[in-house]
């Protein structure tokens, strides 16, 4: 298979939703989940992906099933907005807008929050976390999280002997199916999202040192090379602002 075929974008799922009388769609997975989280989609609705011939129960969509489980455990769950349709390369305009938002960050944690928000939007990830160097430990502390069930992970520690941390300190990223030790560790840190088909990690480095790392997870498919290129730009923009914030704080 040629590199061109490997990099060719695959259209994300689009869904039709029906209550038996009225049908809406097509809608993205993210919009479907946000509608369910906001109680705008009745439990007895049926769903059909644009390529299917038949209608199925809502819970047959694995992302919906994961959201239902989190709702039963934690009550109300916030699902952040994501832009599944973005497949093009980062543009100078898009990068400039991100840097403008980062410019107004009042502290490193706010800069990391902006970066994680952008990462979820541009890659279609459902869950994400940022772990930052901590003065009281040799590892990293989880300072920002987003996605269903992730709130309980704030404050956890990524210990110094963590294999994923070793990769980040060496300046290496990770994006694959959870089929080896580092990727399964990332999957475990991203909550109890079932059948997670893709995980990713991107280090954020300043002045040659690791300051933080972004971890992302999605249940629909593995992250693609284009997703990682976008993460490289996002991490670079955050690192640039991170260094500025640290210098003035």
Based on the fold, state whether residues 136 and 234 are members of the same structural domain. Answer: yes
Please, what is the average pLDDT of the chain? 79
pLDDT digit string, tens, across residues 120-167? 888 888 889 999 987 666 789 899 998 877 888 888 888 888 999 999
Q: Specify the pLDDT at position 129.
A: 93
Q: Of 74, 102, 135, which residue sits at a domain end?
A: 74
Q: In this model, does residue 85 exceed pLDDT 60?
A: no
Report yes or no: 235 and 204 within 8 Å, Cβ to Cβ.
Answer: yes
Give the position of tokens 């997703």: 227
Number of Cβ atoms within 10 Å of the Cβ of 88: 10
Domain presence at residue 135: yes
**What is the reported pLDDT for 79?**
78
Is the link from the previous residue into 26 a cis peptide, with omega within 30 of 0? yes
Q: Is residue 236 part of a domain?
A: yes
Any idea which residue has 């940022």 for tokens?
130
- Looking at the DSSP assignment, which residues form a beta bridge with residue 34? none
Same domain, 57 and 20: yes
Query: How many domains does one find in the chain?
Result: 2
Lowest mean pLDDT among 156-165, 175-184, 198-207: 175-184
Distances, alpha carbon 210 to alpha carbons 64, 170, 172, in Å: 36, 9, 11
Residue range of the domain that includes 50: 3-74
Q: What are φ and ψ of residue 229, in 5° steps?
A: -65, -40
pTM for the full predicted model = 0.62
C-alpha–C-alpha distance, residues 65 and 133, integer Å:
34
- Same domain for 99 and 68, yes or no, is no
Of 226, 173, 217, 174, residue with least CA distance to 197? 217
Q: Are residues 35 and 101 in the same domain?
A: no
The answer to whether the beta carbons of residues 175 and 187 sit under 8 Å apart is no
CA dist., res. 107 & res. 136, Å (int): 19
Give the pLDDT mean for 49-69: 86
From 42, 74, 106, give the residue that closes a domain: 74
Q: Helix %, strand %, coil % for the chain, to 5?
A: 40, 20, 35
Same domain, 56 and 100: no
- Whether residue 147 lies inside any domain: the answer is yes
| Claim to verify: residue 37 and residue 123 sit in the same structural domain | no
Residue 98 within a domain: yes
Task: Please give the residue that has the higher pLDDT: either 198 or 86.
Answer: 198
**Looking at residue 242, what is its pLDDT?**
67
* pLDDT, mean of residues 62-71: 83
User: Are the beta carbons of 111 and 245 closer than 8 angstroms?
Assistant: yes
Report residue 72's pLDDT band, with 50, 70 and 90 as the boundaries: confident
* pLDDT for the residue numbered 207: 77
The pLDDT-based confidence of 29 (bands split at 50, 70, 90) is confident
88 confidence band (pLDDT: 50, 70, 90): very low
Position 142 in a domain: yes
Q: Which of 202, 185, 191, 230 is nearest to 130 (CA)?
A: 202
Q: 66 with 8, same domain? A: yes
Q: Is the pLDDT of residue 183 over 60?
A: yes
Answer yes or no: do 155 and 239 share one domain.
Answer: yes
């Amino acid at each position: 298979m040629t590199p061109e075929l490997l990099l060719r974008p695959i259209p994300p799922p689009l869904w039709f939703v029906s209550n038996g009388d009225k049908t809406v769609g097509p809608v993205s997975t993210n919009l479907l989940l946000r509608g369910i989280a906001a109680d705008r989609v009745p439990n007895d609705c049926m769903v059909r992906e644009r390529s299917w011939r038949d209608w199925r129960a809502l819970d047959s969509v694995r992302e919906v099933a994961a959201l239902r489980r989190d709702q039963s455990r934690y009550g109300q769950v916030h699902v952040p907005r994501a832009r599944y349709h973005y497949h093009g390369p980062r543009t100078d305009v898009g990068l400039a807008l991100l840097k403008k938002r980062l410019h107004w960050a009042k502290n490193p944690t706010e800069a990391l929050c902006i970066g994680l928000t952008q990462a979820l939007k541009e890659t279609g990830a459902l869950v994400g976390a940022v772990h930052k160097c901590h003065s009281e430990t040799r590892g990293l502390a989880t300072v920002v999280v987003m996605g269903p069930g992730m709130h309980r992970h704030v404050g956890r520690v990524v210990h110094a002997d963590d294999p994923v941390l070793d990769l980040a300190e060496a300046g290496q990223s990770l994006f694959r199916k959870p089929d080896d030790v580092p990727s399964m560790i990332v999957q475990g840190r991203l909550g109890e999202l079932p059948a997670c088909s893709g995980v990713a990690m991107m280090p954020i480095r300043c002045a040659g040192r690791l300051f933080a790392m972004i971890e992302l997870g999605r249940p629909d498919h593995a992250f693609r090379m284009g997703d990682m290129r976008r993460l490289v730009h996002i991490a670079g923009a955050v690192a640039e602002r991170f260094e500025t914030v640290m210098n003035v704080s």
